Amino acid sequence: MEKIIIEGGHELNGTVVISGAKNAAVALIPAAILADSKVTISGIPEISDIDYLSNLLKELNCDIKKENNILQIDPTNLKNTKLVKDSVDKLRASYYLMGALLGKFKKAIIRSSGGCYLGPRPIDLHLKGFEALGAEIEYKDDVYIITAKQLVGNTIYLDFASVGATINILLAAVKAQGRTIIENAAKEPEIIDIVNLLTKMGAKIQGAGTDKIVIDGVETLHGCYHEMIPDRIEAGTFLIIAATVGRKIEIKNIISHHLEALISKLIEIGIQMDIMEDSIIVYGRKNNLKPVNVMTEIYPGFATDLQQPLTVLLTQCHGTSKVVERIYPERFGHCEQLNCMGAKIEKKEGECNIIGPTQLYGTVVYATDLRCGAALIIAALLANGSTEINNVYHIDRGYANIDKKLISLGAVIERKIR
């Protein structure tokens, strides 16, 4: 097991380039197997989730080649193999192979997926969507067996605007007979990116980015080239890093309108920024930062993936800030870890109060999930002394080369094997 040791107290300065979007990449790759020829995706991030997913595709006899940030996926010889090995447990997004395999072969046999524990995350909306298209579902020994004689378009209303369910239904519906309508669909930028890829492959889809997506099924899909969007969560994390411990940091390869909710909160706190077409410059942390209240919402509201990193900045605000988590009410594993470093965070059911400003101190902490790990990195950069962060595998799942990027800005970081 690896750990990261960070020496705090160093002011960061310079330029950082954001990688491709993790939450898009883990859906783009399963989508590619719906094609009958090679799909090339550029901008792929260097994260462990991509390696896990590539290995799952290799189990399906898919030819995968990766060079730098370009991934070539050739599904010509794809076989509908049962995905029941432990490797499925390592990746929450492995469930996208349900929709992709069901769409391509009318059958998917796959074990329950893993990933970070953020409280209950059922996939009932995914399964209801498959059933609405004509599939039958059996669950036995922790394995889903999903079959259909024929997939037929239908109108599907999602009780919750789930990103995962929206994508999975899209993947199953693009080759179904007739028209499928997804009502109350998720609007995240990652949805638009998936639809852009599928459209290049020959799919007929309208309404991506709205709450109503219309899919007219086609018989075949072909290969294409696709350049994916930058990671708005990584970009948001670096905006928070720059606001917390930076002097002047330029963050490049960023789509600012994907981050309007975070940017507005940073401005409310008192952070100065220059926002340009594809980059943002954040200027050094000011004194007398103002406390704010944050409530996570589905996009375009404040992203649940950014509330944990933002909490660290809130420990430096003068007064009491509140974070209300409406997506994953149990997503507060970072609070106990930050309190070990000197923060004053009062955790309640589905929310927390952060009392500031407080001085943070280096100690031994544990990343309980991916974004908790990001929060601990920011806290360690801010703290007096050295901080040892364990369970680094969580961080590596979603942040590409974060050690190198931070070191290039002036951070003092060392990675060790325990």
Taking the C-alpha atoms of residue 26 and residue 8, their distance in angstroms, rounded to an integer, is 33
Whether residue 370 is annotated as binding a ligand: the answer is no
* pLDDT score at 114: 54
String of DSSP letters for 350-397:
TEEEEEE----B--EEE--SHHHHHHHHHHHHHSBSEEEEE-HHHHHT
Apex 373 CA angle, 369 and 379, nearest 5: 145
Whether residue 38 is annotated as binding a ligand: the answer is no
The partner residues of 18 in beta bridges, in order of sequence, read none
Whether residue 92 is annotated as binding a ligand: the answer is yes
3 state SS for 228-253: CCECHHHHHHHHHHHHHHEEEEEEEC
Whether residue 121 is annotated as binding a ligand: the answer is yes
Whether residue 22 is annotated as binding a ligand: the answer is yes
- Establish whether 340 is a catalytic residue: no
Whether residue 90 is annotated as binding a ligand: the answer is no
Give the strand order in the sheet containing 155-157.
155-157, 179-183, 212-216, 204-206
Whether residue 23 is annotated as binding a ligand: the answer is yes
Each residue's pLDDT tens digit in the chain (418 positions)? Answer: 899 999 999 999 999 999 999 999 999 999 999 999 999 999 999 998 899 899 999 999 999 999 989 999 999 999 999 998 776 776 767 899 999 999 999 999 998 875 444 444 568 999 999 999 999 999 998 899 999 999 999 999 999 999 999 999 999 999 999 999 999 999 999 999 999 999 999 999 999 999 999 999 999 999 999 999 999 999 999 999 999 999 999 999 999 999 999 999 999 999 999 999 899 999 977 788 999 999 999 999 999 999 999 999 999 999 999 999 999 898 999 999 999 999 999 999 999 999 999 999 999 999 999 999 999 999 999 999 999 999 999 999 899 999 999 999 999 999 998 7
Q: Which amino acid is at 407?
A: I
Domains present along the chain, CATH in parentheses: 2-19+230-417 (3.65.10.10), 22-227 (3.65.10.10)
DSSP-derived 3-state class of residue 55: helix
Whether residue 125 is annotated as binding a ligand: the answer is yes
Give the CA-trace dihedral at 145, 148, 151, 156, to 10 degrees: -50
Specify whether the CB–CB gap between 383 and 362 falls below 8 A. yes
Catalytic-labelled residue, pool 116, 335, 352, 372: 116
Whether residue 175 is annotated as binding a ligand: the answer is no
The model's pTM: 0.94
Q: Where do we find the tokens 């469930």?
A: 95
